[in-house]
Structure 1
Amino acid sequence: MALEIERRFLVRGSGWRDHILWGQRLRQGYLQASADGVTVRVRLEDDEPMETSAGQGSRAWLTLKAAVTRITRAEFEYAIPADDARQLLALTTDSLSKQRYGLDLPGGDWVLDVFEGENAPLVLAEVELEREDQPLTVPPWCLKEITGRGDLSNAALARCAWSHRPLAERQALLDGGLCNDGDID
């Protein structure tokens, strides 16, 4: 069983742009989404990737995830034909699109998602770690840690877009203080 150990952060500002290694446009939809059970996601990298090192056009995956702890999930991911992904996306009622960027930051594999459509202008950073207790230096443009917040998962954002949430709720999250002064253990 593959494990995904991940921490997530709400981002403010554009300081992350100095760390971009690659970018891609993703569409993803949820065939099943459960906070306590298994989530089944289909993801399609669009035909015209942005500055990707691979530059191969469309790629697609079917992913199954299940919570193990607050920051660890069992993850099973399988490459599927892009045409199959398009057909599966057409069957989903909960979907979203985003620009994803790989970042050159230490401490783990960092990616940053700039959400589009009704989830704009939301920006979230994620870092995959080797172990749960791994020390991490969090960049100053990370506003607040949102690890474990199911209401801000991609599946939740596909079901209820950021722009559909009450303004007071969005503002309260964005007005929070900085999540770090550098290192977080």
Structure 2
Amino acid sequence: MTTAPADLARSRSALLELPVELRFDSPDVGDGASLWRIARDSEVLDLNSPYSYLLWCRDFAATSAVARDPSGRPVGFVSGYRRPGAPGTLFVWQVAVDEALRGQGVAGALLDGLSAREARRQDGLRCLETTIERGNTASERLFASYAARHGASLTREVLFEPGHFPESDAHATEVLHRIALPGF
């Protein structure tokens, strides 16, 4: 089943909203350095090169989202992409929020806003995926609450073992969290 705009309209009230002083937007190349800093300052995300955040803001802006403060500065982001072999699946690469705004529902509101936007696309949205390192309870709670909020099933399976990484002793197991969306 594909999430359709009509499904979105029925459950609009279930979507989390950003705090009133923030606005939902798509990133642009000028946001790349800010997104890199937010990811770095999270101290839990795998930090990619600054160049990769610039490319992400250029090539995957349509499937990513930022929260902007009143001055227009990004204070949180969700980076994602449609899986090439599964166009109804949005893979969420990273979610990060400025430390001063953590615990205020910004990450959940960004996920809801991005999902709603993706559901309006021609191919809809059937599934949301992400990987989470074992022990990252904040991310586990974020995606579990997203699934519960949308009445979706959540399955987990190991996607990458430490041995898949070049420095296997430096990386934990990555668990794939797959959320099958019944419709907004």
Band the TM-score falls in, shorter-chain normalisation: under 0.3
TM-score (norm 2): 0.27
Larger proportion of strand: 1
TM-score (norm 1): 0.27
